Amino acid sequence: MLHYSQEDILGMPSLVRRALVNGIGGVKPLNLISTISKQGQHNLAVFNSIVHIGSNPPMLGFILRPTTVERHTYDNMLSTKYFTVNQVNTSIFKSAHQTAANYVESISEFEAADLTPEIIEHYEVPFVKESKIKLGCAYKNEYFIKENGCRLIIADILDIYAEDEIIESNGFVNHEKAETAGAIGLDAYLSVSLLDRLSYARPNEKTESILKDGTP
């Protein structure tokens, strides 16, 4: 069995350490966060740290890296208070990867990554047209992580948009139908395949499949 102590990890070359620690937790969700500056400049960046915070009220969170360098997503979010979260699917994962490049503020990652900004209803912040699941969000709070200078950003989910048949009447989101992509580390991408759906876990009750004829 391989074993790396914390001392071993800290002694690794930077790129090796980043790949190991970022990927060791397994498959992560992959989303594009879209913001707009006060001057109307679009910004788009890929994130693999978006997490569920709560459903009543509906909230999500994500980790923002230290602001020791320019963070256009963060600056725009603070100035306008709104942003959108857009699912990365298997058709656009390469474009999503490209948004991680360090573009200057005057360059729109939509254009650089060949993605299409889409205005929906009252939002001035664009969504990603090619995404099949889209969230309209509002900045709510942040918590500074003093151990490494990152920030946990908390946001309200104001609106959910999805293509037909992806969200079922019981609230189940079928990411297999949505062709959602996941990520491992900094450069590995996977498609999503549904293994099963299981009954609610209760003491002294056997867990059973709740799929009907092999379908959700």
Give how far Cα 62 sits from Cα of 46, 65, 114, 195, Å: 11, 10, 25, 27
Q: Go through the domains of the chain in sequence order and give each one's CATH number.
A: 25-191 (2.30.110.10)
Q: pLDDT tens across 127-176, in order?
A: 999 999 999 999 999 999 999 999 999 999 999 999 999 999 889 999 99
Q: pLDDT tens across 31-87, in order?
A: 999 999 999 999 999 999 999 999 999 999 999 999 887 889 999 999 999 999 999
This prediction has a pTM of: 0.91
The pLDDT, as a whole number, for residue 70 is 80
Going by pLDDT thresholds of 50, 70 and 90, the confidence category of residue 183 is very high
Name the phi and psi angles at 64, rounded to 5.
-105, 130
Average of pLDDT values for 184-190? 91
